[in-house]
C-alpha cells in the first residue's frame, strides 16, 4: 500500500521540484508570471525572455546556459523566464506565439517593439549573450573626428545631449542601454578619445587608460556639464532623470552624484566576483585555453581582467581618491575659481508543447564649449 501512496505524492510534487531545480539557486534569471511580464514590458529596455516548461529536457539543458548569459548581461539587459506549464501563464504564452519549448525572445524596447525570435543553431551562453546584447536599439551616434562634435551639438541644440568620450572603438553596452532607455528624450553620442587629445582641447585631463568622460549639453545650450558621479547604470539614470525632468538644479544633482560612494552588499559583491570570469568565457565561446583568452584580450582591449569593473559600470570600480590628493584638488579649484561639476555610459531541437507541433528555430558647473577649466578625473573606467 505504501508504494502507490509514494507514487501519488511524487506525481503531485514532481513538477514543483523540477521547476525549482530548472534554474540554479543563484541564477539571475527572474521568474515572471503574466502580471510580472506586463510590468517588465512597460520598461523602455531590452530584455531576454525564455518561455519554458519544467518537464522539457531541452529547457533543463538550456537553464545553466541561460543563467551564464544572464550573469554576463546583468544588470543592463534583464533575463526572464515564464513557466508556460502553469495555468495562469498559458494565455500569455499563447499570445506570444509559443508552440514549443524552449522559445526564446528578445524584446528590444519592451512592449513598444516587436520581439525577435532566437533562430540560432546553438543555445549556448555565448550565443545568447551576443544575440541579446546586439539587439539593443541604442541610437548612439559615433563622432569619429573632433571636428564632428560641435556640428552634432548644434544640430541637436533643441534636445538634451549626452556625449561619451572614451578610448575604446566599441560602444559600451552601458551606453547603449542608456541610449535605449532615454530614446526620444536625450540624444546620445560617442567620440573615441584614444589618446586624450579631445579631452585636452576641452580643457580636461587626458585620463588614464580605460577612463571615460560623460558630458551633458542641456537643451538650448552649447555648453556642457561634466558628470562627476560613478559611471554605473543607476547613478547615470538618476542624473539623466534630473536632466529630463528639467526642474532639477543640475549643479545640485551633480554634487549629489559626486558625493555618492560605491557600496555593494554581499549579494552584489558575489555577482561582481563571478561576473568577470563569466564575461571572459562569454567573449570566447566558453573555452578556457590561453589561446582563447589571448583572442579575448585582442578583441576587448588590454588589461581585460582589470577593466570590467562592477556590474552595470563602464569599467573598473570608482577608485578611492587619496585624502591629500583630494584636498589638493579642492584647494586648486578654490584658487582658480573652478567649480567641480559634471555632465552628463546547444543546437538543440525544440520540444513541442503537448498537443502542438514543434516550433521552428532554436536555439552644475557649466563649462564653455571650448572648455577653460580642467575637470576632475573620471571616477569610473570604460568597459568595452
Q: Which helix (H) or strand (E) holds 65?
A: helix 57-73
Q: What is the DSSP letter of 163?
A: E
- On whether residue 375 sits in a domain, the answer given is no
Residues 191 and 324 in one domain: yes
- On whether residue 223 sits in a domain, the answer given is yes
Residues 191 and 331 in one domain: yes
Residues 203 and 59 in one domain: no
- On whether residue 351 sits in a domain, the answer given is no
Q: For residue 191, with 0-12 CB atoms within 10 Å meaning exposed, 13-18 middle and 19 or more buried, which class applies?
A: buried
Residue 74, CA atoms < 13 Å, CB-side half-sphere: 25
Domain at 106, CATH number: 3.40.30.10
Q: Give the angle subtended at the CA of 215 by the CAs of 188 and 152, to the nearest 5°.
A: 50
C-alpha to C-alpha distance for 224 and 205, rounded to whole angstroms: 16
The predicted structure's pLDDT at residue 266: 85
Could you say which residues of the chain have pLDDT below 70? 1-21, 284-384
303: left (phi over 0), alpha (psi -120 to 50) or beta: left
- On whether residue 109 sits in a domain, the answer given is yes
Which of 102, 133, 164 terminates a domain? The answer is 133
- On whether residue 378 sits in a domain, the answer given is no
Which of 345, 362, 379 terminates a domain? The answer is 345
Residues 187 and 243 in one domain: yes
The predicted structure's pLDDT at residue 267: 85
CA torsion through residues 249, 255, 258, 260, sign: negative
The answer to whether the CB of 177 falls within 8 A of the CB of 73 is: no
Residues 199 and 282 in one domain: no
- On whether residue 183 sits in a domain, the answer given is yes
The predicted structure's pLDDT at residue 369: 33
Total count of domains within the chain: 3
Query: Strand 186-192 relative to strand 141-142: parallel, antiparallel, unpaired?
Result: parallel
The dihedrals phi and psi of 111, each to the nearest 5 degrees, come to: -80, 0
The predicted structure's pLDDT at residue 298: 61
- On whether residue 37 sits in a domain, the answer given is yes
Residues 22 and 146 in one domain: no
Q: For residue range 204-233, list pLDDT tens digits in order.
A: 999 888 889 999 999 999 999 999 999 999
Which residue range(s) make up the domain with 278? Answer: 266-300
Residues 129 and 214 in one domain: no
The dihedrals phi and psi of 50, each to the nearest 5 degrees, come to: -110, 125
CA torsion through residues 248, 254, 255, 259, sign: positive
Residues 283 and 219 in one domain: no
Residues 203 and 273 in one domain: no
Residues 193 and 324 in one domain: yes
- On whether residue 278 sits in a domain, the answer given is yes
Residues 106 and 155 in one domain: no
Which of 133, 164, 190 terminates a domain? The answer is 133
Residues 256 and 277 in one domain: no
Q: For residue range 142-163, list pLDDT tens digits in order.
A: 999 999 999 999 999 999 999 9
* Dihedral angle computed from the Cα positions of residues 279, 282, 283 and 285, in that order, rounded to the nearest 10 degrees: 160
C-alpha to C-alpha distance for 28 and 125, rounded to whole angstroms: 13
Amino acid at each position: 500500500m505504501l508504494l502507490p501512496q509514494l507514487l501519488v505524492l511524487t506525481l503531485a510534487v514532481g513538477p514543483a521540484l523540477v521547476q525549482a531545480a530548472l534554474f540554479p539557486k543563484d541564477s539571475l534569471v527572474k521568474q515572471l508570471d503574466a502580471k510580472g511580464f506586463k510590468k517588465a514590458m512597460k520598461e523602455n529596455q531590452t530584455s531576454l525572455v525564455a518561455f519554458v516548461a519544467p518537464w522539457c529536457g531541452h529547457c533543463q539543458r538550456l537553464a545553466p546556459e541561460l543563467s551564464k548569459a544572464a550573469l554576463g548581461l546583468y544588470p543592463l539587459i534583464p533575463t526572464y523566464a515564464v513557466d508556460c506549464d502553469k495555468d495562469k501563464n498559458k494565455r500569455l504564452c499563447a499570445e506570444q506565439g509559443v508552440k514549443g519549448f524552449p522559445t526564446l525572445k528578445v524584446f528590444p524596447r519592451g512592449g513598444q517593439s516587436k520581439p525577435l525570435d532566437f533562430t540560432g543553431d546553438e543555445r549556448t551562453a555565448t550565443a545568447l549573450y551576443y544575440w541579446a546584447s546586439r539587439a539593443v536599439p541604442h541610437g548612439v551616434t559615433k563622432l569619429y573626428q573632433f571636428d564632428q562634435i560641435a556640428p552634432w551639438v548644434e544640430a541637436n541644440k533643441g534636445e538634451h545631449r549626452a556625449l561619451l568620450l572614451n578610448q575604446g572603438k566599441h560602444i559600451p553596452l552601458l551606453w547603449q542601454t542608456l541610449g535605449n532607455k532615454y530614446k526620444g528624450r536625450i540624444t546620445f553620442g560617442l567620440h573615441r578619445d584614444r589618446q586624450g587629445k579631445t579631452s585636452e582641447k576641452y580643457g580636461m585631463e587626458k585620463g588614464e587608460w580605460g577612463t571615460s568622460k560623460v558630458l551633458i549639453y542641456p537643451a538650448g545650450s552649447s555648453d556642457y556639464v561634466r558628470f562627476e558621479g560613478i559611471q554605473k547604470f543607476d547613478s547615470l539614470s538618476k542624473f539623466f532623470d534630473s536632466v529630463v525632468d528639467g526642474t532639477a538644479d543640475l549643479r545640485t544633482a551633480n554634487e549629489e552624484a559626486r558625493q555618492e560612494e560605491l557600496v555593494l552588499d554581499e549579494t552584489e559583491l558575489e555577482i561582481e566576483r563571478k561576473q568577470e570570469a563569466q564575461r571572459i568565457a562569454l567573449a570566447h565561446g566558453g573555452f578556457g585555453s590561453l589561446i582563447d583568452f589571448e583572442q579575448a584580450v585582442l578583441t576587448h582591449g588590454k588589461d581585460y581582467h582589470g577593466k570590467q569593473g562592477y556590474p552595470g559600470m563602464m569599467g573598473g570600480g570608482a577608485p578611492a581618491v587619496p585624502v591629500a590628493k583630494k584636498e589638493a584638488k579642492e584647494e586648486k579649484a578654490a584658487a582658480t575659481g573652478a567649480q567641480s561639476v559634471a555632465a552628463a555610459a546547444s543546437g538543440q531541437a525544440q520540444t513541442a508543447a503537448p498537443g502542438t507541433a514543434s516550433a521552428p528555430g532554436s536555439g552644475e558647473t557649466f563649462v564653455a564649449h571650448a572648455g577653460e577649466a580642467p575637470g576632475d578625473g573620471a571616477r569610473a573606467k570604460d568597459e568595452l
